[in-house]
Amino acid sequence: MGNERQARLADRIRVLIAERLEKGLRDPRLGFVTITDVRVTGDLQHASVFYTVYGSDQERADSAEALKAATGLLRSDVGRQLGVRLTPTLEFILDALPEGAAHIEDLLREARERDAAVAGLATGAVFAGDADPYLKPREDDEDDEA
């Protein structure tokens, strides 16, 4: 029951903050910000808001400063529209998911290239020993048994 309430509250906070950012904050430092996730603590007192910023490292830093400066305004907007007794505090955290996904994509691409190189080397390869390395009974042994 409590987890459902947490999830509903987190989803509602995500929507409210995203809508408010879409309308604009009148802060020129704020870049193209996307709210990716919100997690609310079990006591509903604190909300961690995860976001991504499209752009350079400088734009990410500027957007982080703009969100930090606007935290009070965003919290009051959220509190006014949520209708709960206590409005959770907001903490904005840069979501590293896109960078992590890009890193994983690079690793997968590198693995595919190495696999292709190994496959290329294996095309002309010959066995170091016999083609079939398993022991088989000799024909002499079969005659002895009969």
Residue 44: phi, psi to the nearest 5?
60, 25
- Span 87-145, pLDDT tens digits: 888 888 888 776 677 788 888 999 999 988 888 888 877 777 776 777 777 776 555 55
When pLDDT is cut at 50, 70 and 90, the band that residue 77 belongs to is confident
d(CA 94, CA 99): 11
* pTM confidence score: 0.63
- Domain locations along the chain: 2-95
Spatial CA neighbour of 48 closest among 81, 96, 95, 100? 95
For the domain covering 2-95, report its CATH number. 3.30.300.20
